[in-house]
Amino acid sequence: MGFYEDVHALGHQMNTGLWGQYTKDDVKRSLCKEQLDKRDLQILLSPAAADCLEEMARKARSLTRSHFGYVMQLFTPMYLADFCINHCTYCSFSSIYDFPRKKLSAAEVRKEAEAIAATGIRHILILTGESRTESPVSYLKECVMILKEYFSSVSIEVNPLSEDEYKELKEAGVDGLTLYQEVYHEETYRKLHVKGPKRIYRNRLDAPERGCRAGFRTVNIGALLGMHDWRQEAFFTAMHARYLQDKYPECEIGLSAPRFRPFLGEYNPEHIVSDRALVQIILAYRLFLPRSGITLSTREPSALRDRLIHLGVTKMSAGVSTEVGGHTQQGGTPQFEISDGRSVREISEMLKAGSLQPVFKDWDMLEAELY
Amino acid sequence: MSDSLVIGGQSLSSRLFIGTGKYSRNSLIPEVVEASGSQVITVALRRVDPDSNDNIISHIPSRMTLLPNTSGARTAEEAVRIARLAKATGLGNWVKIEVINDQKYLLPDNAETIRATEILVAEGFVVLPYMSPDLSAALLMKKAGAAAVMPLGSPIGTNRGLRTRELLRILITEVNLPVIVDAGIGRPSEAAEAMELGAAAVLLNTAIATARNPLLMASAFRDAVAAGRKAYLAGLGPVEETASASSPLTGFLG
């Protein structure tokens, strides 16, 4: 048993009339409750709730401040390799695109680490495409060994791995896993993932749970918004998070709400997610899971990010390049175009101006042999 | 009259312990220290970065007793490692053990906390375990050599007050150690209530850090803790269910 069975059971309840049946009064009742259930989540994602965003925002902000205070955790992603055997219709790293692929050598990883650490960042998220020959677990481990010298927390965002492989990486010092399902709707998932191991829906869906079992401290999930009906996708993401949090209470389950961004190819998402919709999703996540971290990436434009920081978000990326070696080299191919290109210092200044404290370090690697 | 709280051989005149998390800027910390009159401040080791020019420790006045906490620990082993790392970082030998493996409610794991207490006391730490208010666990922590016990008033960060009041009262009566109410106190009146009950001190962070005016709130808590303590020492008058009749029913007995 895993979340797959839940997706099926919940999917059957997703009829066309579902979202329209809720009223503003339902929203108000949900906002008065302390513990929200599946129905409340649907209510908060429904069209009726779109008219109650201000009330939702007030409660979301208050919950965020009491559980997380006036602080914002910052991190930077580091792209290690862009070799990929998958063909996903929405990604620049897809195997069908012909561009010079790159993979950082140990010396280059060190240079990137130095450049990122010099900005004050202590939490790093490492990313690769899927290639068992170019970026296998052994390569990730070599990189982690170097990165540990510069950072106090290393997380991974790579292709789904087995529980044993996750354990290996945890032993090497990785403490967090980020893995987006991309699309929860299985049929759409199959359409978008044309070729390669990523086509196997269930292998990806169960990966966060394997990460929890392997003992990662944080597991972060999300749907890439724009690929399918956003209400459904947000609903499944939040239900997935709750499933994991209920089953693995020792693990911090976090959520992201990444919106589709332009990339090398020509795919255009069928489902436009407006700013209002994005705000509704983030607020619904916060209200449904009051203690979960919510990550906001540089996919969103600066002006919007500056507003969203007060509505439930607890982690932000800063000083971002989505190219392999993008902090020290020129001429790479970005995985997608970012919208907020501000430096760590600029993001920090923006947070301070909004009376929030940028937090660079919020973990220590606990080397068993040392302590 | 001297009314000091002695913990780990240290005599404290303030019974208000404060935290360092959740502030909008670290530079508020020294101001809150001043306004609260506190002498003990807890800091999560995970936030300490000696290489940073905004290191949280640099904002703490040197007269304060540091109480590093093991926030993030999910097992006794992790708590022990964090405590050792804190000592190696130069944060002294006091430690607030915090072992939480429930991210939904952030309730402490008493069994793991007892194990960590045993290990760290043996290593010479002054150990203050954060705990769910359970008498048998508190007694085991005492037996393990804890310098105090720190039961929660409500789940951390909730500002709900002394929802565990009856259990706190039992701990205060039965555990012959300082009982420091940690977590959940949202209002100065609740801090006063904990002190009136006989708590040795209270520790709080969210209520001050997230107040509109943290400095004014810090001073409000300073007064409330002092008032509650005085009331405890003075001995509260009995509480009656009904008014005392001026012509009692048994008055005819003379």
Whether residue B177 is contained in a domain is answered as yes
pLDDT digits (tens, 9 = 90+) for B180-236: 999 889 999 999 999 999 999 999 999 999 999 999 999 999 999 999 999 999 987
Q: Among B26, B106, B206, select the one facing A357 at the smallest CB separation.
A: B26
Q: Do A53 and A286 meet the contact criterion of CB atoms below 8 Å apart?
A: no
Domain that holds residue B18: 5-234
- Mean pLDDT for each 10-residue chunk of chain A (371 residues)? 86 79 95 94 96 95 92 95 87 82 94 94 94 94 95 96 97 95 93 90 96 96 93 96 95 93 72 92 97 91 90 93 85 77 92 94 72 56
Count CB neighbours of A33 within 10 A.
Answer: 10
* B85: chain A residues, CB-CB within 8 Å: 364, 366, 371
Q: A261 near A341, Cβ under 8 Å?
A: no
Q: Report yes or no on B44 lying in a domain.
A: yes
Which of chain B's residues have a Cβ under 8 Å away from the Cβ of A360?
A: 49, 52
Cβ atoms of A357 and A115 within 8 Å: the answer is: no
CB-closest option in B85, B103, B210 to A364: B85
Q: What's residue A177's pLDDT? A: 98
**Closest residue of B to A251, CA-based?**
B103
Of B223, B218, B215, B216, which Cα lies nearest the Cα of B204?
B218
CA within 13 Å, CB half, A200: 10
Amino acid at B141: M
Say whether residue B27 is in contact with chain A using an 8 A CB cutoff.
Answer: no
B193 assigned to some structural domain = yes
Dihedrals phi, psi of A190, to nearest 5 degrees = -65, -35
Backbone angles phi, psi at B86, to 5 degrees: -60, -45
CB pairs under 8 A between A and B: 83
**Does B34 contact chain A (CB < 8 Å)?**
no
Where residue B124 sits, what CATH number does that domain have?
3.20.20.70
Q: Count each helix (H run) and each strand (E run) in chain A, helices first.
A: 15, 11
- List phi, psi (to 5°) of B181: -75, 120
Read off the DSSP letter of residue A290.
T
Cross-chain CB nearest to A352 (options B25, B46, B209)? B25
Residue type, A186: E
Nearest C-alpha in B relative to A150: B51
Taking the CA of residue B242 and the nearest CA in chain A, the distance in Å comes to 36
Is A217 within 8 Å of chain B by CB?
Answer: yes
Can you name the residues that pair with A239 across neighbouring β-strands?
Answer: none
User: Is residue B253 included in any domain, yes or no?
Assistant: no
Q: Does some domain include residue B248?
A: no
Distance from CA of B158 to the nearest CA of A (A): 7
Q: What region, left, alpha or beta, does residue A173 occupy, with left being phi > 0 and alpha being psi -120 to 50 degrees?
A: left
Q: How far apart are CA A20 and CA A12, in angstroms?
A: 17
Please confirm, yes or no, whether B143 is among the known catalytic residues. no
In a domain, B45, yes or no: yes
In B, which residues are within 8 Å of A69 by CB distance? Answer: 21-23, 206, 209-210
CB A333 within 8 A of CB A90: no
* In the block, residue with structure tokens 């650490």: A117
Tell me if ipTM is over 0.95. no
Report yes or no: B49 and A360 within 8 Å, Cβ to Cβ. Answer: yes
Task: Determine whether the interchain pair A371/B85 forms a contact, defined as Cβ–Cβ distance below 8 Å.
Answer: yes
Q: With an 8 Å Cβ cutoff, is A187 touching chain B?
A: no
CB proximity B58 to A under 8 Å: no
**Residue B115 reports pLDDT greater than 80:** yes
Contacts of B103 in chain A (CB under 8 A): 245, 249-253, 291
What pLDDT score was predicted for residue A368? 52
Which residue in chain A is spatially nearest to B52 when comparing CA positions? Answer: A120
Question: Which pTM does this prediction carry?
Answer: 0.90
Taking the Cβ of residue A90 and every Cβ of chain B, the question of whether any pair is shorter than 8 Å is answered with: no
How close does chain B come to A303, measured CA to CA in Å? 21
A71-81 and A123-128: which strand pairing? parallel
Mean pLDDT of B160-186: 94
CA distance B63 to chain A (A): 25
**Candidate list B87, B96, B143, B230, residue with the active-site label:** B96
Give pLDDT tens digits for A313-333.
999 999 888 888 888 887 777
Phi, psi (rounded to 5 degrees) for A78: -125, 120
Longest dimension (CA), chain A: 60
pLDDT in tens, A142-167: 999 999 999 999 999 999 999 999 99
Question: With an 8 Å Cβ cutoff, are A70 and B209 in contact?
Answer: yes
B residues 181-200 closer than 8 Å to A (CB): none
Tell whether B47 is covered by a domain. yes
**B244 inside domain:** no
Q: How far is the CA of B243 from the CAs of A266, B248, B250, in angstroms?
A: 82, 11, 15
Domain count, chain B: 1
Q: Which residue has the tokens 């939480």?
A: B100
Tokens of residue B77, six digits: 């082993």
